[in-house]
Every structure is written in structure tokens, then in C-alpha cells.
Amino acid sequence: MHLLQQIVFIALAAVSTVLFAKKAGQIKRNILLGRTEELNDNPGLRWRNLLLLAFGQKKMFKNPLVAIMHFVIYAGFIIINLEVLEIVLDGILGSHRLFTPLLGNVYGWLINAFEFLAVGVLTVCIVFLCRRNIVKVKRLASKDLNGWPRSDANYILITEIILMSLFLTMNACDTLLQSRGYGHYATHITGNFAFSSFLHPLLNNAGSGTLEAIERTCWWLHITGIFAFLNYLPYSKHLHIILAFPNAYYARLTPLGKMHNMPDIQNEVLYAMEPDKAPTAEAIPAPHHAFGAKDVFDLSWKNLLDSYSCTECGRCTAACPANITGKLLSPRVIMMKTRDRLEEVGENINANKQFNDDHKTLLRDYITEEELRACTTCNACVEECPVSISPLDIILQLRRYLIMEESNAPQEWNATFSNIENNFAPWKFSPDERDKWAMES
């Protein structure tokens, strides 16, 4: 029987790992469809960002209570799953609590710490479910999340509650069977654990065979749930559990909101002002790509990594002045639509072994001109994001395409552009008359 269980476990682990690796490879390929961008400078500061922003949840502490709850659920879930290493080895080797003799008294201390975190995760998940579905915090009840995004968040929270409950129940049954000297449970005595022991009164009347069945069922459901969770992650916004770390590391270190000029355009202005420096027509290199971005291929790989790292928390949208005043723009939706388009492109490549033109683009088919023009470029969305995502950069590149490639801008903008070109200022006054107001006063 033990051999059969080992075979089933190894097969389950292998299938889960292969499926996750396959999807992870597709996500990596999708991200690398973006343009090259060098973000390897200053590794010391980048590691600091990773530790403070991704693991330390630095930006979340603007609201300390929510930050502490989020840190408990985030760090707790990661640390508790260190115990998965023992479960995996037990499953492969057919052993039970393999690390008990190796760690001695330290083992009991570790499991007690894991139980403390498990109760913390379970409690916080219940609070977060209430915030989303009963209290209905505005940014979490927004129409941005209608449909799958709202369900996705609830599914994950419920799954974590179930996994933590299985972990505690498994430990409670195990320690009761140890105290009864039942079977192989008696060979590794750990003593009672801090929180699972509170379940003993509920289980004490059950026979040892029944307790063993409950313990084994919880063990299998726990590890199967973790394997299922692993393969659900790539299809969920909770992929940020993994991608928050590289996204924080590769965050741009230039001042937030800095707009990057295009060398081709800078040279055009230079040549207009100083014609003697202009090269011959034959010597002018052709631009490497279109100005701005029309589709995900025109964005950088960092923009695409941003889209997969989005937590859909809505802090960016809650801080957006355009959204607050009722305009169509939602920075959260910009990231969600970019990811949706990228996933669609990825499925196209999966089906055809290469991208076949589907006559769709990120601009217009997913993100409208009205959304883009509502942006004030105030940078509030970038400042608020807890994992260093920049919706603004995507907005600017799409808007740049509209203007530079399509000459598509509102009339008011065109008048401003014309004034800047002719008068070197947004106003319709000759530079020679700019100080005339002072003379008249």
C-alpha cells in the first residue's frame, strides 16, 4: 500500500511540476516579446528594492493595519510552505515526519511557529474576504473587477483558508495518534503543537483508525491543494507572489515619472536649429521601430513584466485624479488589459508556433484613446503601486504613437504643439513680445 501511495505521489508531483514549468516558460516567452531595455545598473540598490518593496512590503505601510495583515498573509504563506519540503520528501520516500529525528526539539519549535503563522493567514484571509464582499472597500468593489477578477481573488482567499485548516487538522490528528501510541505515529513523538491541540476535544472521541483516515485525507488534500495552487498561479493575478521579486529588482531607478526623450526626435530639433550639423540624407539612419507603442510588441519587456506582476489592488486607480473626477481612465485596467492582450498573443503563438496577425492591437482594441487622453501624467499611480509597476509608461508610449505616428491629437493639443514649435512656449505670443505685459503695467 505504501509503495502504491509513493508511486501516486511521485506521479502527481511530476505532472504538477511539468505543467507549471510549461506555463512559466510561456509567460517568460511572452514577456521577452517586448523590446530590449537595459535595467542591470546599480545592483546594490536593486537588491535593496527587492528586499524592501517585494518582501518587506515597504509601500504597503502607508496604511499600517492593512500592511501588517498583508505581510502576515504573504510572509506566512511563503514560510509555512517550507514545511512542504518535508511533505514532498515524505511522499517520495514513504516516510512520516522525516525531519523529526534530524532536528530534535527544534522540530517542535518550527511546527509551532508554522501553526502560529497558519492561524494568522487563516484569520487575515477571513478579514480580507469580509473587506471584499461585506464591507466592500471602494477600490475592491469597483466595476474594474467585475467577472473573473473578483472571483479570482475570492477563490485564492478561500483556498488559503482551506489549506491552513487542513494543515492544523492534520497536526491535531497526528499528535493524538502519537499520544495513543498508534502505528508509525508513535515512532516520532513531537508532543502537542500550539494551536492544533485546541482541536483535540473535537477529535478525541474518534477511533484511532478514523483519526488515521482523517490525518491521511488532510495530508493528501493539503499537498494536492498546494500542487493545484502552484498551477493556478500563472492564470491568476496572484502570480505577483512570484513576479513581485524580479519586478522590484528591475524597477527603473531614474526619478519617478521621468519621460525619456527619443534620440531621433532630439536630432531632428537639433538639425532644425543648427542645420550645419545635419548629416546628408544618405547618412541618416532609419529609426529602429515606430515611435511609441501600438501593440504589446512595441512595449519593453519591463512593461510586459509589469502587466503580469499587477496585483489588481487598485491603489493606483484610487489615487488617479482623472479616475476620481469620473473620467474613463483606470491605471489598474490599463495593466489588466495589457496582460489580457499579451495572453491572447501568447495563445496565438501556442496555436500557430508563431504570431499570426489577428488584426487586433493593444491600442483601440483593448485601450481606448479616451482613456489615454484622460491621463494627467501626475505619476500618482506609479507612486502608489506596492510592486513598482508603471502604468504611466505604457500610457505615454501609446499616446506617443497616436501623436507621432498618426498625428492624432485633440485640437487643443495641436494648438499647443504649434505654439511650442513656432513660439517656443505653449502660448500664442511671439518670443519678442513675451515681456510686453511688464512694460504695459
Mean pLDDT (10-residue bins), the chain, 441 residues: 83 96 96 92 91 82 82 75 84 88 87 90 92 90 90 92 94 92 84 91 92 94 93 91 91 78 76 73 59 93 96 93 95 96 96 94 96 94 91 95 89 85 79 74 57
Q: Model-level pTM greater than 0.75? A: yes
Residue 180 near residue 165 (C-beta atoms within 8 A): no
Which residue segment(s) compose the domain that 177 sits in? 2-249
**Is residue 334 in a domain?**
yes
**Is residue 441 in a domain?**
no
pLDDT, residue 194, reads 87
Instruction: Among 249, 277, 312, identify where a domain stops.
Output: 249
**Is residue 435 in a domain?**
no
pLDDT, residue 225, reads 92
Instruction: Among 249, 283, 308, identify where a domain stops.
Output: 249
Q: Do 155 and 273 share a domain, yes or no?
A: no
Instruction: Among 190, 222, 249, identify where a domain stops.
Output: 249
* All cell numbers assigned to 268: 531632428
Spell out the residues 6+ positions from residue 317 whose beta carbon is closer than 8 angstroms to its own: 139, 142, 144, 323, 330, 331, 332, 333, 381
